[in-house]
């Protein structure tokens, strides 16, 4: 096609001519060799041939393996670390299935553990890769973003890919078509009922019937429980799934994960921690029995934080302030709005006046009160706030306390233990309290770090800050600030929650 001819044609006319040319080339390859017959059972070839790759770029070997097994085994489940390319893989599968089945009766229900995952990750990824498709090879015009590729769906001539909430299993069950592809994104906490609802489609699909049903499931792992875990642990009844664990080293070799990031997370969280094993090693792991706060509870609080649409509707109540003692420790302010921590404000190497000024500014602007670590230089901060006649509650972690746990049966060695246990109890899903925490790696690491034990006399002791620092190499400043933010007005017995 010459430059002169291009100038006389509209973009759509030019692409149409190119599509016709590509179709002729495919047909020339053999009798009946159209785009559909070439790629219908070969998603690997589709991804390699029909996406415009940059030089030196392309799918990782483990991505090719998963795509290859999808039309063969029908059920594919992948787990691995953050960054391995799971979302891209699912987007490729959606585009391959939709384009090669169009003209038939097809559907692609997509669901995830949280609606945000579909809204901000999976479907934007579909849009991203759709822009890189080679439409000449595909033999059609690009998707129309007004009528075909919409924000959370892809509507073609005879079928549709669409987003649906994972807690609406009846919608999964109601998805009927001759050709189905189920996409389960970040599947570790998708309810078993949702998986079971999809099973109805598999009962009418297979080699001896014309219907087709495929399932693609991927996630970073979490606790060793739930349907995603059952599939990967090869429990009886799940042998028909093809499963793949992508290791940290594989993701590093593929250029998807950096060595520096993995090493930094090891220093931050500790190699034996559940958060490191889940997010970096890609292994199922739960917090140890002697850990104060399970990782899964923190992740639920992170999801609630993402779901807050209007912070202006929440009332600021207080700020928890952990005051730096010396050296690399940081002063951290945790701003609490109702049951949510909106943000963490960190600073280092400040004097008492500077720290007092920052807390004063927050209180005068937002109202509420401050709960301040009074040990060491924190005492000076408390004094300055009192001089300014601002509401402040000193928090001395080593002081005795008369508080008990929610059952009223166990006491605490000191206020630090009571504060951390209080946060544990309100984070427990069984409490029904909508605690929301920012998804911050440092905070997550802090919250899952402390251990606990019951001392003589029925008193709980939470590991001291100094002992944790010796064990993991850093101070839990962020976690302590959040603990203080919930110390006043955040106790289950104070607010009348009788649980368990």
Per domain, the residue ranges of the chain are 1-33, 35-251, 295-485
Q: What is the pLDDT of residue 209?
A: 65
Residue 359 reports pLDDT greater than 60: yes
pLDDT for residue 289 is more than 80: no
**Is residue 200 scored above 80 in pLDDT?**
no
Proportion of the chain above pLDDT 70, given as a percent: 88
Higher pLDDT, 156 or 198: 156
Average pLDDT in the 457-462 region? Answer: 92
Mean model confidence pLDDT for the chain: 88
Distance CA 158, CA 102 (A): 6
Q: What pLDDT, on the 0 to 100 scale, is given for residue 324? A: 85
* Cα-based distances in Å from 75 to 232, 282, 467: 12, 20, 47
pLDDT in tens, 255-264: 999 999 999 9
pLDDT at 336: 97
The pLDDT value given to residue 490: 58
Alpha helices in 110-205 (DSSP H): 115-117, 123-130, 135-138, 169-173, 192-202
pLDDT value of position 493: 55
Tokens of 67: 């795509």
Tell me the C-alpha distance between 294 and 449, whole Å.
Answer: 9
What is residue 297's predicted lDDT score, i.e. its pLDDT? 94
Position 10 confidence tier, pLDDT thresholds 50, 70, 90: very low
Residue 272's closest CA among 257, 285, 255? 285
Supply angle C-alpha 243, 298, 395, rounded to 5: 160
Phi first, then psi, for residue 323 (nearest 5°) are -90, 130
CA dihedral 230, 41, 18, 32 (to 10 degrees): -170
Fold of 295-485: Nucleotidyltransferase; domain 5 (3.30.420)
3-state secondary structure of 149: strand
Structure tokens at 404: 């008990």
Q: What is the pLDDT of residue 9?
A: 40
User: Which residue's structure tokens are 């504060």?
Assistant: 419
Per-residue confidence (pLDDT) for residue 403, from 0 to 100? 92
* pLDDT (average), residues 352-379: 93
- For 35-251, CATH number? 3.40.50.300
The pLDDT assigned to 203 comes to 74
**Confidence band, pLDDT 50/70/90 cuts, at residue 326:** low
481: nearest Cα among 434, 412, 427, 423: 423
Evaluate whether 35-251 and 295-485 have a shared fold: no
Return the bridge partners of 291, or none: 451
Using pLDDT thresholds of 50, 70 and 90, give the confidence band for residue 204.
Answer: low
- The proportion of the chain whose per-residue pLDDT surpasses 90, expressed as a percent, equals 70
pLDDT of residue 1: 36
| pLDDT of res. 6 | 38
Residue 228 has pLDDT above 60, yes or no: yes
User: What is d(CA 160, CA 64) in angstroms, rounded to the nearest whole number?
Assistant: 25
**Parallel, antiparallel, or unpaired: how do β-strands 106-112 and 159-163 relate?**
parallel
Q: Which residue has the higher pLDDT, 34 or 158?
A: 158
Looking at residues 288-301, what average pLDDT do you find? 89
Backbone angles phi, psi at 245, to 5 degrees: -100, 120
Query: Which pair of tokens denotes residue 47?
Result: 């991804």
pLDDT of residue 500: 44
Gap between the Cα atoms of 299 and 221, Å rounded: 12
Cα 87–chain centre separation: 11
> Residue 187 above 80 pLDDT?
yes
Give pLDDT tens digits for 11-36.
Answer: 445 445 445 544 544 444 444 468 99
Mean pLDDT score, 380-403: 95
Nearest to 215 by CA among 66, 386, 324, 114: 66
Say yes or no to pLDDT of 494 above 70.
no
Is 432 a residue whose pLDDT tops 70?
yes
**Weakest mean pLDDT among 171-180, 275-284, 409-418:** 171-180
């Amino acid at each position: 096609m010459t430059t002169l001819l291009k100038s006389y044609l509209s973009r759509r006319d030019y692409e149409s001519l190119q599509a016709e040319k590509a179709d002729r080339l495919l047909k020339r390859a053999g009798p009946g060799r159209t785009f559909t017959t070439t790629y219908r059972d070969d998603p690997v070839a589709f991804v390699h041939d029909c996406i415009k790759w940059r030089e030196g770029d392309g799918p990782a070997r483990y991505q090719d393996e998963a795509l290859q097994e999808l039309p063969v085994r029908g059920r594919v489940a992948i787990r691995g670390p953050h960054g391995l390319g799971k979302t891209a893989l699912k987007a490729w599968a959606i585009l391959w299935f939709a384009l090669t089945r169009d003209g038939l009766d097809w559907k692609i229900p997509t669901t995830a553990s949280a609606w945000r995952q579909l809204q901000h990750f999976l479907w934007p990824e579909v849009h991203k890769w759709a822009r890189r498709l080679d439409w000449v090879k595909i033999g059609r015009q690009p998707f129309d973003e007004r009528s075909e590729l919409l924000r959370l769906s892809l509507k073609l001539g005879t079928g549709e890919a669409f987003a649906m909430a994972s807690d609406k299993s009846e919608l999964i069950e109601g998805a009927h078509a001759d050709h189905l592809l189920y996409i389960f994104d970040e599947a570790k906490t998708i309810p078993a009922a949702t998986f079971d609802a999809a099973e109805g489609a598999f009962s009418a699909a297979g080699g001896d019937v014309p219907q087709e049903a495929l399932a693609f499931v991927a996630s970073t792992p979490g606790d060793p429980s739930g349907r995603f875990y059952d599939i990967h642990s090869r429990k009886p009844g799940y042998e028909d799934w093809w499963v793949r664990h992508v290791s940290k080293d594989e993701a590093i070799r593929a250029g998807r994960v950096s060595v520096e990031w993995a090493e930094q997370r090891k220093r931050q969280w500790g190699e034996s921690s559940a958060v490191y094993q889940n997010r970096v090693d890609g292994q199922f792991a739960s917090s140890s029995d002697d850990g104060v706060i399970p990782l899964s509870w923190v992740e639920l609080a992170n999801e609630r934080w993402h779901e807050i649409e209007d912070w202006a509707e929440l009332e600021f109540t207080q700020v928890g302030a952990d005051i730096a003692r010396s050296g690399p420790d940081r002063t951290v302010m945790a701003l609490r709005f109702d049951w949510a921590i909106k943000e963490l404000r960190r600073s280092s190497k400040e004097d008492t006046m500077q720290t007092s000024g920052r807390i004063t500014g927050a209180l005068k602007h937002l109202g509420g009160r401050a709960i301040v670590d009074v040990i060491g230089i924190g005492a000076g901060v408390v004094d300055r706030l009192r001089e300014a006649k601002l509401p402040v509650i000193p928090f001395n972690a080593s002081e005795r306390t008369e508080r008990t746990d929610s059952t009223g049966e166990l006491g605490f060695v000191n206020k630090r233990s009571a504060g951390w246990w209080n946060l544990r109890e309100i984070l427990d899903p069984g409490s029904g309290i909508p605690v929301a925490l920012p998804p911050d790696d440092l905070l997550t690491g802090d919250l899952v770090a402390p251990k606990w034990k019951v001392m003589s006399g029925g008193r709980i002791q939470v590991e001291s800050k100094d002992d944790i620092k010796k064990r993991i190499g850093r101070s839990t400043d962020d976690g302590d600030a959040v603990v203080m933010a919930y110390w006043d007005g955040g106790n289950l017995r104070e607010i009348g929650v009788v649980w368990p």
